[in-house]
Amino acid sequence: MQQPLKSPLNWYEALNRNLLVRSLETIQDLIVVSLCIGLFCAMVIQLRGIFYLMLPPLNFHEVTADILFLLIMVELFRLLIIYLQEQRVSIGVAVEVSIVSVLREVIVRGVLEVPWNQMLAACAFLLVLAALLIVRVWIPPTFEGIDPEQRYVKHYQGENKASG
């Protein structure tokens, strides 16, 4: 039997996939770090603006809106830090940011100023986000050493041994 001819340059075999993946992860981490630095600078600028708004005459509505916006930026910063530490996006923090963002918009516009259909949509969205916060408690923590695919494989192998 004749063996198939091998090409001297199989680029996909020569490519070290681990090196490629590590390089892409490093680039992705650099992007996230640059987002952290940019967000931190934006928070400092926002904080300076809040201090200027506190000078007389005090516009309480604007100060409240800016403080809530700063809190949203702090939560986004925390989300980026968690991503850098654990290489995952935290569902809880993302949902919390969404909840604060919706509440900020309602507070800034004023509850009585928002049309009823938009208020109904905001309430429905908040209910869905609250349900997500509750449901995430029952979701297995796949990033803490528990791999659902491995559990399935072990379970499947256990059934095969019992039947075999």
pLDDT over 70 (residue 103): yes
Mean pLDDT of 48-68: 87
Pick the closest to residue 55 from 65, 45, 63 (CA basis).
Answer: 63
**Cβ of 114: how many Cβ atoms within 10 Å?**
16
Q: What is the pLDDT of residue 7?
A: 55
Residue 146's pLDDT band, with cuts at 50, 70 and 90, is very low
- What is the arithmetic mean of pLDDT over 100-111? 85
Mean of the per-residue pLDDT values for the chain? 81
pLDDT greater at residue 154 or residue 41? 41
DSSP for 63-108, please give it: HHHHHHHHHHHHHHHHHHHHHHHHSS--HHHHHHHHHHHHHHHHHH
What is the tens place of the pLDDT at every residue in 114-136?
888 989 999 999 999 999 888 88
**Burial classification of residue 138, based on how many CB atoms lie within 10 Å of its CB (0-12 exposed, 13-18 middle, 19 or more buried):** exposed
Q: What are the angstrom distances between the C-alpha of 83 and each of 66, 90, 91, 156, 164?
A: 26, 7, 11, 32, 44
Question: pLDDT value at position 41?
Answer: 96
Residue 88 Cα to chain centre, angstroms: 7
Asked if the model's pLDDT at residue 80 lies above 70, the reply is: yes
**Model confidence band, residue 13 (pLDDT cutoffs 50, 70, 90):** low
pTM beyond cutoff 0.75: no
- Per the CB < 8 A criterion, the answer to whether 92 and 133 are in contact is yes
How large is the average pLDDT for residues 2-29? 70
| Helix/strand number for the chain, H first, E second | 6, 0
Per the document, the length of the chain is 164
pLDDT band at residue 141 under the 50/70/90 scheme: low
Name the burial class of residue 67, with classes exposed (0-12), middle (13-18) and buried (19+) by CB atoms within 10 angstroms of its CB: middle
**Exposure on the CB side of residue 40, measured as CA atoms within 13 A:** 9
What is the per-residue pLDDT for 148? 46
